Amino acid sequence: MFRQLLSLTTFLLALQTHAQLLLCRESLQREVRQAIETPLAPQTLYRPIFSTDLTYLIEKARIADSPAPQANMSTAEGRDQFHINNETTAILQMKTKLLRYRDKVIRVQPEQGPFVLAAVREQFTKMLAELPLANPQHYRADGDRLTELTTGQSLSLKELARLRNPQLAVEKLGLLVPEDLVFLKQDSATGEFHLVGGFLAFPTHWSLAAFPGSSIKEIHENVGATPEVSAKFSSMINRILARSLQMPQVAARNNWFLETDPRYALPDYQTTTWAGATEITNENANSNVFLRVERQTIRGLSESQAVVFAIQPLVYPLPAILSNSGLSQTLAKGLVLKYGPLETAPTFIQIVGALLANREP
């Protein structure tokens, strides 16, 4: 009798916990829906999300390595295509809110719709197999359905099979992961890869609309590279992308910047100035300069022959760097590699270099 009562009590407690979890999830979903429907001022929507993931910064960011892509490239398993951390839920919620600017954050070249649909379905199949095993606190697989547990976003293979709208397919896929997703297709005649679609919510001073159908070379020419540098750089990137179609692993790298605007989304169509914007001086740099690391992965999809370029920013206030001796030394080395002699670098870069050099041990 006692054992039966104990079993019943355990069952009721488990049922109560499950009910509380459902209520919590439903409440969060209501908040997300309400956030989408409630008008927000741009300065409220475009806000910072600071990373607490110092382990990644110390062990993976490779700031002191050469900024050249081939020198800052490593292979990873498929389960590491996406980076799940303490900020994931906040990033996913912001991504959902940015859908009010759907025509800016989601783009598919009209003639590439079938190609992108096939790529989305193949990418989702890999996510369904990998994400729940790698990140059970965030993902659950129920048959052919994948659910992100903190936002309730859900998608199934059957649902994707029925979809004929490539933009909607990209949207549903993109809302499952914190990364931006860009789809690339190789031109069979030239071997060059072209941007054919994506979900780009958190770019660093660019947008999908700026490069519709552009090749890697055209993209880098438009961001200020000389034709010679662009040709050399794009040739190397095209080789890396083509190689990804032949390998089962994911290629991973990092790009990084020092920014005076900490907002998580920095698209080129942003028209509002950061409320804290100010001229950087020796006195205020500590609270007005931010390290923005972009974790980037490249995954070739063998069936669709698409390449998925995934990007997740991690933004760190400068004091988080200055508080760690190793990180300060790493960033000091990285500044020289990225900008050359600091005396010829932009003024605020020189100021940060001096702060790092004069940091208290």
pLDDT at position 36, please?
34
pLDDT at position 266, please?
96
Q: At what angle do helices 2-37 and 88-97 cross, to 10 degrees?
A: 40
Residue 128 lies in a domain: yes
Count Cβ atoms below 10 Å from residue 121 Cβ, excluding itself.
18
Tokens of 322: 């200055």
pLDDT at position 32, please?
35
Domain limits for position 97: 48-273+293-317
Residue 269 lies in a domain: yes
pLDDT at position 43, please?
56
Residue 172 lies in a domain: yes
Residue 105 lies in a domain: yes
CA atoms of 282 and 197, how far apart (whole Å)? 43
pLDDT beneath 50: ranges in the chain: 2-6, 8-15, 17-25, 27-41
Task: Please state the domain count of the chain.
Answer: 1
User: Over the stretch 36-83, which tens digit does the pLDDT of each residue have?
Assistant: 344 444 556 789 999 999 999 999 998 988 777 667 889 999 999 999
Residue 194 lies in a domain: yes
Tokens of 264: 């998580």
Residue 135 lies in a domain: yes
Tokens of 358: 């004069």
Residue 93 lies in a domain: yes
pLDDT at position 221, please?
76
State the maximum Cα–Cα separation within the chain, in Å, rounded to a whole number: 83
CA dihedral of 314, 267, 164, 246, whole degrees rounded to 10: -50
Residue 107 lies in a domain: yes
CA atoms of 238 and 129, how far apart (whole Å)? 28
User: Over the stretch 321-358, which tens digit does the pLDDT of each residue have?
Assistant: 999 999 999 999 999 999 899 999 999 999 999 999 98
Give, for 308, the enclosing helix (H) or strand (E). Answer: strand 306-317
